[in-house]
Amino acid sequence: MKKVDINEAMKFRHPEIVVNVVTKSKDGKVDVAPIGWAMLGSSNPETWAIGVAKKHFTHQSIIDTKEFVVCLPSSKQKKDTLYCGFHSAWKEDKLSKTAFKLLSADNISIPIIDESLACFECKLVDQMDTSDHTIFLGEIVASHVSGEKIGLINIGHSQLIEFEQGKKE
């Protein structure tokens, strides 16, 4: 082994999950941001933990509304997922530049994204300040699937490749 800079070693951390986090600001602006730092926080109750940079519009909206949606993107959503990952709702209405179709959620005021593999409505139950990010813990209060089976995984440098859900070799 050779001692290297942290960033050099971090190049080997992929593949990484990618989820689309949907939020709504206190003024009602709906936003989507892909998040790779996402994991399950607990199984009873079921929670999602997401790491969101403090500078993101998404961060402010979660602080304000205490709700968010986690959607697992399908292969059909690759282009729009990447668009949302490189543009901020602080600067533009990015959703109008995408083909995302939003549907009403059941238990929270944030919409879900049609044609995702699955979407989870979450209510904020805890948060951890990690300096430039916050880890938000959301309890799942409703979940939805579309029937889409081909998902996306990040193999590095925001290169999203397709995988088939549940496929056995």
**What is the footprint of ligand FMN within residues 36-75 (CB under 6 A)?**
36-37, 51-53, 56-58
Among 66, 78, 87, 123, binds ligand FMN (CB under 6 A): 87
Q: How far apart are CA 164 and CA 93, in angstroms?
A: 32
Compute CA distances 96 → 29, 32, 65, 91, whole Å: 11, 11, 22, 13
Among 33, 70, 113, 140, binds ligand FMN (CB under 6 A): 33
Q: Is 35 in the site for ligand FMN (CB under 6 A)?
A: yes
Pair of tokens at residue 76: 């059909």
CB of 2 to ligand FMN, least distance (A): 28
Size of the site for ligand FMN (CB under 6 A): 21
Is residue 167 exposed (0-12), middle (13-18) or buried (19+ Cβ within 10 Å)? Answer: exposed
Is residue 147 exposed (0-12), middle (13-18) or buried (19+ Cβ within 10 Å)? Answer: exposed
CB of 20 to ligand FMN, least distance (A): 9
For ligand FMN, the binding residues (CB under 6 A) are 18, 31, 33-37, 51-53, 56-58, 82, 85, 87-90, 154, 158
